[in-house]
Amino acid sequence: MNSWIRSLVMPVEGTAYAHRVDNLYLFLIYVCIFFFLLVTGLLAAFVIKYRRRSADDRTPQITHHRGLEVAWTVVPLALVMLIFFWGLRTFVQAAVAPADAEEIHVTARQWMWQFEYPNGVRAINELHVPLDKPVKLIMTSEDVIHGFYVPTFRLKQDVLPDAYTQIWFTATDPGVHILECTQYCGKGHSQMLGKIYVDDPASYRKWLATGGEAGKGVPPVQWGRTIYETRGCATCHSIDGAPGQGPSFKGVFGHPVALVGGRSMIADENYIRTCILTPDKNRVAGFPPIMPTFQGILNNRDIDGVIAFIKSLE
């Protein structure tokens, strides 16, 4: 019965911690249901039993009932203390990471997530973690407050500028889990999504060693579109000519681009590559300097794909 209610009410439990959170949450639900039924049931019974039966019917003078007064003081106090210490224990378990947890650095910015692994591999909006192994995330923001939230993990932590926060988990459900931002962080807030891939140990080691070899065998234009959709490009650059936080990609290749300072350049392959790796060097006039560098994040195959994708947007 409990497992049926759990599957009906709760999302998938993606971590060992999620089960502990759900246990406490379901306990609160059961307590609320019990007291709702108790109070409404007694109310209905009293209405029927003690209803006024005649015009001369009078309620007798009742002072107090010591047993009831003690009960409705002690029982709620005991329940509140139980919930407090249960919640405190669950909170402490989420706050203190095991010594052997693998550390991954997380940088949040408008409007993307960047992950950096101990061996130097970096990724945008794509976090790979090993199955059944503790992972510790050390997080900071480059601009405003963001909220790192994974519903299936039952974990949320604010990510602050000029400070570090951390969170840890042991992923137990292989597959893909969705990462969301819960703090309104600007125009692209709703698009600040990421994916967390829970890999078996062998797949995780291979991904760390190769960076996933993403895009291998995929046509450049198709791979460039994938990069555009998954690496945060879509939050600032449209592909239909509509204005955004950055210039639109539509029809830009091969045409002159007005730059800050009055200069202009032809948007060729070298120009696009420079914009990806050193975005402040040739910034387009009329747009703020908010684009991060993708140096070390996108490899040559990724950049070639983006260029091919932009070329196709005539």
Find how far residue 3's CA is from the centre of its chain: 26
pLDDT band per the 50, 70, 90 thresholds, residue 84: very high
* Token representation of residue 74: 């002690």
Alpha carbon distance 291, 236 (integer Å)? 9
pTM, to two decimals: 0.65
Mean pLDDT for all residues in the chain? 84
The per-residue pLDDT for range 165-211, each reduced to its tens digit, is 888 998 888 889 999 998 888 887 888 888 899 999 888 888 887 76
CATH architecture of residue range(s) 2-48+64-95: Orthogonal Bundle (1.10)
Q: What is the pLDDT of residue 2?
A: 56
Q: What is the pLDDT of residue 68?
A: 84
Q: Is CATH 2.60.40.420 correct for 102-213?
A: yes
Find how far residue 35's CA is from the centre of its chain: 34
Instruction: Name the least confident of 115-119, 194-198, 223-227, 253-257.
Output: 115-119
* Token representation of residue 282: 């040739």
Long-range pairs, 78-83, Cβ under 8 A, ≥24:
79/31, 83/24, 83/27, 83/28
Q: Is CATH 3.40.50.620 correct for 220-311?
A: no
Q: What is the pLDDT of residue 122?
A: 77
Q: What is the pLDDT of residue 36?
A: 94
Distances 204 to 27, 87, 164, 208, 212 between C-alpha atoms, Å: 36, 33, 26, 6, 9
Sequence-ordered alpha helix ranges (H) in 54-193? 66-95
pLDDT band per the 50, 70, 90 thresholds, residue 97: confident
In the chain, where the domains are located: 2-48+64-95, 102-213, 220-311
Q: What is the pLDDT of residue 6?
A: 62
